[in-house]
């Protein structure tokens, strides 16, 4: 597989200048292929020179350059050499293309609810040539004219406003200059809700079988969209530039969403078909607002090369949380960021694959894809908050406005962004950027006090940089003390050396909990002092500040991962503090981290039922105390269903008896219950098949695959593994479901033979499954629950191989690092005699 290098891209953009694309797609030629004709007009700085065009067809019929047909006998399947070039050129590429089922290129899915077909285009990161012939790199922007032929009953949407010019024929309005990776066309019998806000036509679209939920939830989503437009217009001083704004909820989407100008694609699980919780609606709102921020940052101004992708993502991540908390009902959005995003980034920083926010080498397009992680999003956003604390919000916004105006419809790089910030603030930011943006790693921050008869005699903040990534990062943070539910003190300070005295605390009364970074403004591992740790079970439930509670939870979870806190202590805190927690992002994220990571990895198999019982008991308390039918009751019910060992209760719920209010007929909830029963071997294939009969939908099919794969029986394992790794033509989502279920079985003996098979069979899927999809499959299919030295040994051996693709290698590096954290913790806390150093 060819992979565009940075040097090739730079040479090509120095030579040519693309002035326009015309793309004609014929989607009415059957289920497996479509016809693509693209006409590209471009100038060339040097007559007689040559360049190449990217196209990845099933069959390439004809390429003409300035009217002369090019000889395609040496075409290797990806690049067409164009020579000799004139000063003004037109190339026409006619090809038959394959629909994909891995979420890249033009993905085609069949809705099992009604047999209807849906298509969407996903050109990110380098998949545009799977749809049309192009010069596929972000800094060759051009306007697009697109027309689409489709089956007569389909709706067509794209970057430009679509009009139907005849039955099954659609013409899209000419776009502003776009990078190739923003190209999309969505086509199928989508159903729509439309509106207009501030002169901008808005559309929400989803599969026909999701019509009811789409229509019920549209008002909430349109409100977030309108509030975000108003906020961004006032913040940036530049109106939304891409005409209509469509949000298309598409099936089997790999990421959360994609910021195609004018036509954002989002995963259609965001159209909730059953009961939904407050934090799920918040997450969807955050994604809506995130993609809208990209219309300016990313789409209007695009990074020159993929090594600055972080700038798009950090900015959108920061802006969405700011917008939600300042302009919408979700005033607690930053707490959600603390719980759902930062632990993801902190985990990424502990892995050997960690990298600087900016300037990570991306010598080619595929290596750039590997940096698209918790560092680019969560750390980048936290870093921008530190930048704002450093230069002030007014300077930040003025710099952003200047940056957007100066590079509108063009491309920029880190130096341009920093230059704008320096001009706006009058500060030299090179040292700041070196420490925060160009150096990987996170500091540990702790506060040491000497208490003396009820008051603090001395206090010091200690900042420890990782030895592997030394840097002097300045932190703007606050330190707060709480006792018995009352804030005793709070001081704001800047930590810019390894030891900073805190004279403001001297003479203050001792606090039972001392919390550094209490409003979670910085990016650091927070180490709680021993007295605060010991007081957590009794003090945390009463802590009045939500952000501070989120910081404590994250510190506890990170402490377990670092083998510095006994997982049993975390369970003790959970037993006292989780059921009474009022913030739903905290409740749900703590629950997810406990059930998906802490219990399976850090607690030995024989003790896991006891740990799940702590979750189930607390969740039952939460459910009993919540208003029936409320979001809180739903969360409680879900964690009872996930963790309870009460087979009678689970079987009754699975049969639809005695369900909590609001969950009658809720298929998603029934699958949660069945997932628990399946892991325990307490429901057979017939039971799962009959559940599928009641839920013949795309979601139902995936849940059926996942629960069937999780059964602890040898035949079930053999079937699931073959479905996962065999050449079955399974879609990206089906592979994810099989992989997610497989290792859930509560019987390690039945799983053990598949540890070795992971390392032979999953790497062999490369080539059949696109790298973007394979990255997820390889991570989900890793034997993370087999916390044994043998698993680590096999990982190490695999990483010595030279034939792993970038996505598979990265998945193994990261999963292996997490496995070693679990081994180290089990060794430190007397659970299993394993050599964590191997």
Question: Min. distance of Cβ 290 from Zn ion in angstroms?
Answer: 5
CB of 256 to Zn ion, least distance (A): 8
Show the site string, 254-293: x = touches Zn ion by CB under 5 A, - = not: ----------------------------------------
Length of the chain, in residues: 838
Contacts 24+ apart (CB under 8 A), 423-430: 423/399, 424/391, 424/395, 424/396, 424/398, 424/399, 425/391, 425/392, 425/395, 425/396, 425/399, 426/395, 427/390, 427/391, 429/387, 429/391
Please state the closest distance from residue 520 (CB atom) to Zn ion, in A.
21
Q: Which is nearer to Zn ion, 171 or 266 (CB)?
A: 266
- H or E segment at 22? strand 16-26
**Part in contact with Zn ion (CB under 5 A); list of ranges 3-11, 15-23, 307-315, 447-455:** 307-315
Stretch that binds Zn ion, among 306-314, 322-330, 464-472, 782-790 (CB under 5 A): 306-314
Closer Cβ to Zn ion, 294 or 589, answer by number: 294
CB burial of residue 823 (10 Å; 0-12, 13-18, 19+): buried
Of the pair 70, 316, the CB lying nearest Zn ion is at: 316
Tell the smallest beta-carbon distance from residue 320 to Zn ion (Å): 9
Can you read off the two tokens belonging to residue 212?
């009811």
Binders of Zn ion in range 148-177 (CB under 5 A): none
Question: Taking the complex as a whole, how short is the minimal distance between the CB of residue 291 and Zn ion, in angstroms?
Answer: 7
Total residues binding Zn ion (CB under 5 A): 2
> Among residues 16, 65, 226, 316, which is the contact residue for Zn ion, using CB under 5 A?
316
The runs of H, that is alpha helices, within 694-752 are: 698-709, 714-725, 732-742, 748-751
Single out the segment in contact with Zn ion by CB under 5 A; choices: 26-34, 315-323, 356-364, 461-469: 315-323
Q: Per CB under 5 A, which region of 70-78, 314-322, 406-414, 702-710 contacts Zn ion?
A: 314-322
Q: Which of 259, 291, 349, 581 is catalytic?
A: 291
List the one residue out of 113, 103, 93, 126 whose CA is nearest residue 4: 126
Stretch near Zn ion under the rule CB under 5 A, chosen from 316-324, 338-346, 675-683, 729-737: 316-324
C-beta of 250: minimal distance to Zn ion in Å? Answer: 16
Stretch that binds Zn ion, among 216-224, 312-320, 666-674, 810-818 (CB under 5 A): 312-320
Nearer to Zn ion, 385 or 703 (CB): 385
- Smallest Cα–Cα separation from 743: which of 772, 721, 763, 765? 721
Q: Helix, strand or coil for residue 245? A: strand
Q: Closest approach of Cβ 255 to Zn ion, in Å?
A: 8
Residue closer to Zn ion, measured from CB, 53 or 293? 293
Which segment (305-313, 325-333, 429-437, 654-662) binds Zn ion by CB under 5 A?
305-313
Residue 235 or 316: the one with the smaller Cβ distance to Zn ion is 316
Q: Which stretch binds Zn ion (CB under 5 A): 308-316, 382-390, 438-446, 629-637?
A: 308-316
Residue 522 token pair: 């910085």
Quick one: 268 or 313, whose CB is closer to Zn ion? Answer: 313
Nearest-approach distance from CB 319 to Zn ion, in angstroms: 10
Look-up of token digits 């003004």: 88
CA distance to 640, 659, 694, 741, per residue, from 654 (Å): 13, 9, 12, 18
Q: Which two tokens stand for residue 830?
A: 């007397």
CA distance 639 to 618: 9
What is the smallest separation between the CB atom of 200 and Zn ion, expressed in angstroms? Answer: 20
Concerning whether 291 is annotated as a catalytic residue, the answer is yes
* Choice between 298 and 763, CB closer to Zn ion: 298
Select 127 or 711, whichever has its Cβ closest to Zn ion: 127
739 binds Zn ion (CB under 5 A): no
What is the crossing angle of helices 342-349 and 546-561, to 10°?
30
Could you tell me if 139 and 411 are in contact, meaning their C-beta atoms sit under 8 angstroms apart?
yes
**CA separation for the pair 597, 557 (Å, rounded):** 10
Q: How far apart are CA 834 and CA 818, in angstroms?
A: 15
In whole angstroms, what is the distance from residue 203 CA to residue 189 CA? Answer: 15
For the beta carbon of residue 322, count every other beta carbon within 10 angstroms: 22
Burial class (CB in 10 A: 0-12, 13-18, 19+), 115: exposed
Q: In the bound complex, which residue of the shown chain has the CB atom lying closest to Zn ion?
A: 316
Angle at 39 between CA 37 and CA 41, to 5 degrees: 170
Q: The tokens of 104 are what?
A: 């890249």
**Residues 568-597 within binding reach of Zn ion (CB under 5 A):** none
> Whole-number minimum distance, CB 300 to Zn ion, in Å?
14
3-state secondary structure of 210: helix
Cα–Cα distance between 693 and 261 in angstroms, integer? 40
Residue number with CB closer to Zn ion (380 or 481): 380
- Give long-range contacts, CB 8 A cutoff, 24+ apart: 405-409: 405/238, 407/301, 408/238, 408/241, 408/300, 408/301, 409/141, 409/176, 409/177, 409/300
The CB-of-617 to Zn ion minimum distance in angstroms stands at 39
> Treating both helix axes as pointing N-terminal to C-terminal, what angle do 567-577 and 605-625 enclose, rounded to 10 degrees?
10
Select 308 or 313, whichever has its Cβ closest to Zn ion. Answer: 313
Give catalytic residues, as residue numbers. 291
Which residues would be at the binding site for Zn ion (CB under 5 A)?
313, 316
């Amino acid at each position: 597989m060819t992979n565009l290098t940075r040097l090739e891209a730079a040479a090509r953009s120095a030579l040519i200048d693309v002035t326009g694309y015309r793309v004609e797609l014929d989607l009415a030629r059957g289920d497996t292929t479509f016809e693509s004709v693209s006409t590209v007009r471009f100038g060339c700085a040097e007559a007689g020179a040559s360049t190449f065009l990217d196209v990845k067809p099933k069959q390439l019929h004809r390429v003409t350059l300035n009217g002369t047909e090019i000889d395609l006998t040496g075409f290797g399947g990806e690049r067409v050499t164009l020579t000799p070039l004139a000063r003004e050129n037109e190339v026409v590429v006619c090809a038959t293309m394959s629909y994909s089922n891995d979420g890249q290129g033009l993905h085609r899915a069949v809705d099992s609810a009604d047999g209807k077909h849906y298509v969407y285009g996903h050109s990110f990161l380098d998949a545009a040539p799977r749809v049309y012939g192009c010069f596929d790199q972000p800094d060759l922007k051009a306007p697009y004219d697109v027309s689409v032929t489709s089956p007569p009953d389909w709706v067509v949407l794209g970057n430009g406003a679509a009009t139907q010019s005849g039955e099954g024929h659609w013409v899209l309005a000419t776009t502003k200059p776009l990078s190739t990776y923003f190209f999309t066309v969505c086509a199928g019998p989508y159903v729509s809700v439309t509106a207009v806000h501030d002169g901008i036509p808005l559309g929400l679209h989803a599969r026909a079988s999701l019509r009811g939920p789409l229509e019920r939830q549209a008002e909430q989503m349109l409100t977030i969209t309108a509030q975000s437009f108003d906020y961004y217009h006032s913040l940036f001083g530049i109106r939304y530039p891409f005409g209509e704004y469509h949000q298309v909820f598409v099936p089997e989407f790999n990421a959360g969403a994609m910021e195609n100008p004018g036509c954002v694609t989002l995963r259609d699980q965001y159209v909730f078909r059953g009961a939904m919780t407050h934090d799920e609606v918040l997450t969807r709102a955050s994604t809506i607002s995130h993609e809208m921020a990209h219309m300016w940052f990313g789409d209007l101004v695009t990074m020159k090369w993929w090594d600055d992708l972080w700038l798009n993502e950090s900015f959108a991540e920061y802006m969405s949380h700011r917008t939600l908390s300042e302009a919408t009902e979700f005033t607690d959005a930053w707490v959600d960021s603390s719980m759902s995003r930062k632990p993801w980034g902190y985990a990424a920083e502990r892995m050997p694959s960690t990298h600087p926010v900016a300037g990570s080498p991306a010598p080619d397009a595929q290596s750039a894809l590997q940096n698209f992680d918790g560092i680019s999003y969560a750390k980048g956003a936290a870093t921008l908050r530190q930048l704002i604390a450093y230069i002030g919000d007014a300077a930040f916004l003025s710099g952003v406005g200047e940056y957007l105006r100066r590079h509108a419809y063009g491309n920029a790089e880190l130096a341009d962004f920093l230059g704008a910030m320096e001009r706006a603030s009058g500060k030299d930011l090179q040292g700041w950027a070196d420490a925060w943006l160009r150096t990987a790693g996170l500091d540990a921050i702790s506060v040491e006090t000497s208490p003396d008869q009820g008051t603090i005699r001395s206090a010091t903040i200690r900042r420890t940089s990782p030895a592997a990534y030394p840097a002097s990062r300045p932190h703007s943070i606050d330190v707060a003390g709480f006792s018995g539910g009352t804030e005793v003190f709070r001081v704001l300070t800047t930590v810019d050396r390894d030891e900073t005295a805190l004279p403001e605390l001297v003479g203050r009364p001792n606090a039972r909990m001392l919390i550094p970074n209490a409003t979670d403004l910085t990016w650091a591992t927070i180490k709680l002092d021993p007295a605060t740790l010991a007081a957590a079970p009794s003090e945390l439930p009463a802590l009045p500040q939500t952000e501070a509670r989120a910081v404590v939870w994250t510190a506890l979870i990170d402490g377990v991962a670092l083998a510095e806190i006994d997982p049993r202590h975390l369970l003790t805190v959970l037993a006292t503090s989780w059921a009474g927690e009022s913030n739903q992002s905290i409740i749900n994220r703590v629950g997810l981290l406990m059930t998906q990571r802490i219990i399976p990895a850090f607690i030995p198999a024989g003790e896991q039922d006891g740990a799940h019982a702590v979750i189930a008991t607390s969740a039952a308390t939460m459910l009993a105390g919540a208003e029936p039918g409320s979001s809180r009751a739903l969360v409680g019910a879900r964690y009872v269903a996930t963790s309870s060992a009460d087979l009678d209760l689970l079987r009754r719920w699975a049969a639809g008896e005695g369900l909590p209010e609001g969950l009658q007929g809720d298929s998603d909830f029934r699958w949660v219950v069945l997932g628990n029963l399946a892991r325990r071997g307490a429901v057979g294939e017939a039971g799962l098949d009959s559940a599928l009969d009641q839920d013949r939908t795309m979601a139902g099919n995936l849940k059926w695959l996942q629960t069937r794969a999780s059964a602890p029986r040898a035949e079930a394992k053999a079937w699931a593994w073959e479905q996962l790794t065999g050449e079955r033509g399974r879609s990206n989502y089906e592979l994810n479901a099989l992989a997610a279920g497989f290792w859930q079985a509560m019987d390690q003996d039945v799983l053990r033979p598949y540890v070795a098979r992971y390392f032979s069979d999953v790497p062999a899927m490369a080539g059949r499954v696109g790298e973007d999809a394979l990255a997820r499959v390889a991570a989900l299919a890793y034997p993370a629950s087999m916390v044994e030295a043998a698993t680590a040994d096999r990982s190490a051996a695999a990483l010595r191989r030279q034939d792993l693709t970038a996505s598979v290698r990265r998945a193994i590096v990261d999963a292996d690092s997490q496995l070693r954290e679990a081994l180290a913790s089990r060794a430190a806390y007397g659970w299993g005699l394993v050599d964590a150093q191997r």
